[in-house]
Amino acid sequence: MSFNSFAFILIFLPVTLLIYWMLKKKGQSTLSVWFLVLASLFFYVCAFPEGIIAFALSLVVNYLLALLILKNRKKIYLIVGVIFNIMLLGIYKYAFMILPVLKDKLSAPGISFYTFCAIALLVECQKGSLGELSLREYSLLMTFFPKIAEGPITLSDDMLSQKEGRSSLDVETVYRSILLFTLGCFKKVIIADTLGSAVDYGFADLFSMHTGEALVIMLSYTLQLYFDFSGYCDMAMAVASLFGFDLPLNFDSPYKARNIVDFWKRWHITLTKFLTRYLYIPLGGNRKGRARKYLNILIVFFVSGIWHGAGLTFIIWGMMHGVLYVIYGWIKDRKMERAGDIVKKNGFFEKLKSAACVFLTFIYVNVAWVFFRAPDMKAAKDFFADIGELWFPRFNYGLAKCFNIEEFWYVIKLLHLDGWNNSIYILMFVILALLLLLVFKSPSALEFSSKCRISFFTTALMTILIVWCMLSFEGVATYLYVNF
């Protein structure tokens, strides 16, 4: 069971909402939270039965350690907790590198997200930020089903401050939540999975790919990853809102970033927040000189690469971001030293410079994502070799067909454009162009749903999109970040 399934939309979500709010209205707030915890556990078991052992072990051990830390404030318990969580994460994510036979036997979807959540909780307990921690509060923080599998990473101050959530639900909140869920579902089911089929097609046959196809596949993966992950987070925020809780924002139009620092303020925001608070600052942050600051930044991105996956490709991806982050920071530091020498440009050149910065950042991120997607270094090398050939023959029909969204193709037939020899290739480029326009020019799904008012047009659009998504559920692939 996942967000984009009939079982979730037609049965689990409405039934769970109905019982939860019935308990709330009867003044049974405590009971409603426990019901939500049980429903969340049921959701995880149905969605990922193979991961229940790791999840249960994490829940029990981390709660006992949290109680010990709150009672004694001894650092040894925090050290044991951090080691336990890192070992649990390591066993389920990296043990197969030592014993390949374990690759298909160890599976714990979402383990990276709830492990980081647990570590953050233990640290806050040690700091004394939490006066007490009830089993009910802890259980909801760790199991809340909208965010359990793919985030966002919720820290103690994100959830514990909300207690039992809002006491009531108004029509406008419900409407906007359904709209946000619909947009997120569309991003995943229609957009991300269409792009994903093209990406899988390309990486399955790197040897016959030419420069143009490699560039299309690289762009497709960049867009797929964003629409897939942000689509999930949109749906998670929407579902949480229906239960009266607010999840933290995880994406803020990241491809509009003007530089790599700006990118990481917009992409996977909760991961950046976690690594900054619990790794960068404890390492010394920027308090011990520039050289130490730059080293700390590189360590953070190295850890980020390892967190995302086992293998050299993920480390290279992380270090590509880390090195550029350091270079940008060094340039910025130098400019601050010579602030009096900076001449302010006029409006036109500022806009031109801004557009160039966005473009160059986007290109760099595209290149780095190749290492993120490539199964190994050889595949990444072959991919860049295809680009380097600078060979632009006719595009493969099979690749173009991956963009053949049936509903779009029906419109083409209706307009009698399917007789064109290159109609399928034109459709491919039109879809990519529209998606780029959506990424760079349109507001985010959260911005749109937050500002949108109840209207016939919005309701009709929402209905069309959700029906379109549901008709496409059969061919939906798993979420990309569920394995990270």
Task: List the chain domain ranges.
Answer: 6-169
Task: Give the global pTM.
Answer: 0.90
**pLDDT value of position 38:** 96
476 falls in which pLDDT band (50, 70, 90)? low
- Of 117 and 345, the structure prediction assigns the larger pLDDT to 117
- pLDDT digit string (tens) for 298-325? 999 999 998 888 789 999 999 999 999 9
Q: Report, as an integer, the average pLDDT of 23-49.
A: 91
Contact indicator for 135, 224 with CB cutoff of 8 Å: no
**pLDDT value of position 453:** 85
> Which value, in Å, is the radius of gyration of the alpha carbons in the chain?
24
166 falls in which pLDDT band (50, 70, 90)? confident
Q: With b meaning 16 or more CB within 10 Å and e meaning fewer, what string describes 216-245? A: bbbbbbbbbbbbbbbbbbbbbbbbbbbbbb
Contact indicator for 347, 319 with CB cutoff of 8 Å: no
Cα–Cα distance for residue pair 253/239, rounded to 1 Å: 21
Contact indicator for 472, 196 with CB cutoff of 8 Å: no
Amino acid present at 230? S
User: Taking 60 as the threshold, does the pLDDT of residue 379 lie above it?
Assistant: yes
Helix (H, G, I), strand (E, B) or coil at 399: helix
**pLDDT value of position 104:** 58
Residue whose C-alpha is closest to residue 133's, from 75, 70, 80:
70
400 falls in which pLDDT band (50, 70, 90)? confident
User: Taking 80 as the threshold, does the pLDDT of residue 99 lie above it?
Assistant: no
